[in-house]
Amino acid sequence: MTVLHEFDPQLLSEVAALPPLPGVYRYFDAEGGVLYVGKARNLKKRVASYFQKNHGGTRIGHMVTKIARMQTTVVRSEAEALLLENNLIKTLHPKYNILFRDDKSYPYLKLTAAQPAAPGAAPAASAYPRIAYYRGAVEKKHRYFGPYPSSWAVKDTILLLQKVFRLRTCEDTVFNNRTRPCLLYQIKRCSAPCVANVSPEQYALDTANAERFLQGQTQEILSELEKKMLAHADRLEFEQAAELRNQMSALSKILHQQSMDLGGKNGDVDVDILAVKVQGGKACVNLAMVRGGRHLGDRPYFPTHVENATDAAALDADIEAAGEGSAPGAAPAAKTLEALVLEAFIAQHYIDVPVPPTLVVSEPVDRELMAALAEQTGSRVSAVHQPREQRRVWLEMAQKNAGLQLARLLAEQGSQQARTRALAEALELPLDNLDALRIECFDISHTAGESTQASCVVFREHKMQSSEYRRYNIDGITPGDDYAAMRQVLMRRYTKLAEAARNGEATLPDLVLVDGGKGQVSMAREVFVELGLDLGLIAGVEKGEGRKVGLEELVFADGRDKVYLGRDSAALMLIAQIRDEAHRFAISGMRAKRAKVRVGGSRLEDIAGIGPKRRASLLQRFGGVRGIASASVEDIAMVDGISTELAEEIYRALH
């Protein structure tokens, strides 16, 4: 083996011992960080090529010089290798793979299961299915429709179901305590099963039709409703016929208004439309969803490591072209970056999300990838490139939205980077690595001294880093003493950090902002002097004349004169953004703490003697913790299982 870099002999011996079988490999650096995850038809040839060739000054060459160790997993087929590769990419977050991060789970529409009520009994919530917005783990006993691209798409669908089928949306506790119909019944959005205004049989039929509507069977529903309406009219049951006529009218109106609901005509009940756009080293995949024949909207995704992954993918393509496990003369054409991004999205996205039977794509997709998806789901999945008719319209819309979303991202990043540079220049901060510029901002929040909290927010890499935010409960000070609160939070934040920084184990921020003028800056100065820290790090954001926005001035702890950046200054815009985020974070924490104090605790289970059953009984009777807190001891004692002594304990705990 020709070695072009000084690698660990143990690593090279492991490479030489690899089998010529399909599998997945992982490269790690000396610190244990994951560099790259790849798959291969022939592990031995693929991995050896990284260590035998001169990759020059490319990104992949830079990566290869960092490889300290590797791990490999042999699998039975290419499909298994593909699925394992992308599972590992999502789990390990390697630096040289295209990576799509999950910002949040998808929302669903939930239809609860019906449990038949006893004959002659009062209406029970469990007997009447409820439609609701849902996000989280699913339960097999309920029905779930989706996923939907956004919460508003779910809520819009719920509104449609209310208008046409009048299904309930209320919580079970509300349902079981109703004595008369609510406002939704008055505006014809609910059939009021809570007061037996609709028979269980009719409600069950409406529920079944709602399910069919969500599955795209709208024309069948209209035909059946029309037959039933005519049958009622023939029997001179004009009131029932009129109800069905109104339901048909509402459904027809909705279908007419939904001009994009054309999927059902072509058999496209469930389809995902995927369009990719690459520009300026960034990429966007726009995912549009069609469910039940209805276009539900779209959602953009922005991958990371796009540029790093380009060279690695090019190397893999070269190896494929050289004949790794392929037939002679069957060298595949190099894939475009757009195709690589799209395939990475499909492979990673559908690990956790159900795959519809049809994907409409802007770039050709590898057959192996579709075969792996089909194997994973147990059903046929097809990818349609260069579609026609309605599918083409959908794809063109998705492509346009991908371009718009990417342009927005580039504009935002450009403006944010310009703001960072403007602030660094104005305050003479380091300019050599603006991506690493770190700013921490502190704010104090309380209500008349009650529930005092301090917030610390972090700005780095040209954006707010919410995962690094911290809140501090402030105790042992005179209520309302903001200066003492600021002293306490700064001491708690920087005492250990200062010691670690002196030992070279941590890095201090480049700028520490405090929301306040001379008083708060003087307090920060005392803390930094005590800790032996650089006073040049501290700046206070002082309100301008009349506390008007845009007139803020910066006050410094090291004796520099005040600085007014100007109302239209990009640097002031960034400072205002960071200051406002610190204020928002402090306010939200203070309100949550105050609410917790006022209701006497975060959970009823914190009270001795209250378990799940008694908690459920209390919540059902009073509708929530606030309702229990407003009840008297006598009212609480009337709940089954609650003695007078326990009622008194609950009352004391909640007051």
Mean pLDDT of 310-323: 61
Element (H, E) at 113: none
**26: pLDDT strictly greater than 80:** yes
- Residue 155 identity (one-letter amino acid): K
Mean pLDDT of the chain: 81
Question: How much is the pLDDT for 245?
Answer: 75
Q: What share of the chain is helix, strand, coil (3-state, %, to 5)?
A: 50, 15, 35
Provide the CATH number for the domain around residue 512.
Answer: 3.30.420.340
518 and 576 in one domain?
A: yes
pLDDT reported for residue 290: 87
Query: Which residues 6+ apart lie within 8 Å of 25 measured at CB?
Result: 37, 38, 39, 40, 43, 46, 47, 70, 71, 72, 73
Give the burial class of 640: count Cβ atoms within 10 A of its Cβ; 0-12 exposed, 13-18 middle, 19 or more buried.
exposed
Helix ranges restricted to H, 291-388: 306-321, 337-349, 367-377
Does residue 459 have a pLDDT over 90? yes
Is the residue at 421 inside a domain? no
pLDDT at 550: 66
Q: Name the pLDDT band for 597 (thresholds 50, 70, 90).
A: very low
Min mean pLDDT across 140-144, 161-165, 546-550 is at 546-550
- Are 444 and 588 members of one domain? yes
Local confidence band at 641 (pLDDT 50, 70, 90 cut-offs): confident
Query: How many Cα atoms are found within 13 Å in the side-chain-facing hemisphere of 345?
Result: 29
547: in domain: yes
CA distances from 69 to 3, 81, 352 (A): 16, 20, 30
**pLDDT per residue over 502-542, tens digit each?**
888 888 899 999 988 888 899 999 999 999 888 888 999 88
CA atoms within 13 A on the CB side of 616: 4
Residues 539 and 608 in one domain: no
441 and 589, same domain (yes or no): yes
- Of 248-262, 284-298, 311-325, 611-625, the range with the lowest mean pLDDT is 248-262
Q: Residue range 414-438: average pLDDT? A: 85
Mean pLDDT score, 62-74: 87
User: What CATH number has the domain bearing residue 620?
Assistant: 1.10.150.20
Residue ranges of alpha helices (H) inside 53-129 are 59-66, 78-92
Residue 370 domain flag? yes
pLDDT at residue 648 in the model: 83
- Confidence band for 342, pLDDT divided at 50, 70 and 90: very high
Q: Is 315 helix (H, G, I), strand (E, B) or coil?
A: helix
**CB proximity list for 301: less than 8 A, separation 6 or greater:** 100, 284, 285, 286, 287, 345, 349
pLDDT at residue 20 above 60? yes
DSSP-based three-state secondary structure for 274: strand
Q: Which of 111-115, 438-442, 456-460, 522-526 is predicted with the least confidence, judged by mean pLDDT? A: 111-115
Question: 211-267 pLDDT, tens per residue?
Answer: 887 777 766 777 777 777 777 777 777 777 777 677 666 666 555 444 444 444 455
Nearest CA to 173 out of 621, 630, 627, 637 is that of 621
Residues 504 and 568 in one domain: yes
Split at pLDDT 50, 70, 90, the class of 9 is: confident
pLDDT band, residue 331 (cuts 50/70/90): very low
d(CA 226, CA 245): 8
Number of Cβ within a 10 Å radius of residue 429: 17
- Backbone region of residue 117 per phi and psi (left: phi > 0; alpha: psi in -120 to 50; beta: other values): beta
Q: Classify each residue of 121-146 as buried b or exposed e, where b means 16 or more C-beta atoms within 10 Å of its C-beta.
A: eebbbbbbbbbbebeeeeeeeebebb
Q: Are residues 277 and 288 in the same domain?
A: yes
- State how many domains the chain has: 5
pLDDT of the residue at 599: 45
Whether the predicted pLDDT of 3 surpasses 60:
no
The confidence score (pLDDT) of residue 260 equals 43
The C-alpha atoms of residue 204 and residue 12 are separated, in whole angstroms, by 68
Contact between residue 51 and residue 90 where contact means Cβ atoms under 8 Å apart: no
Residue 369 has pLDDT above 70, yes or no: yes
Q: Which domain holds residue 191?
A: 123-264
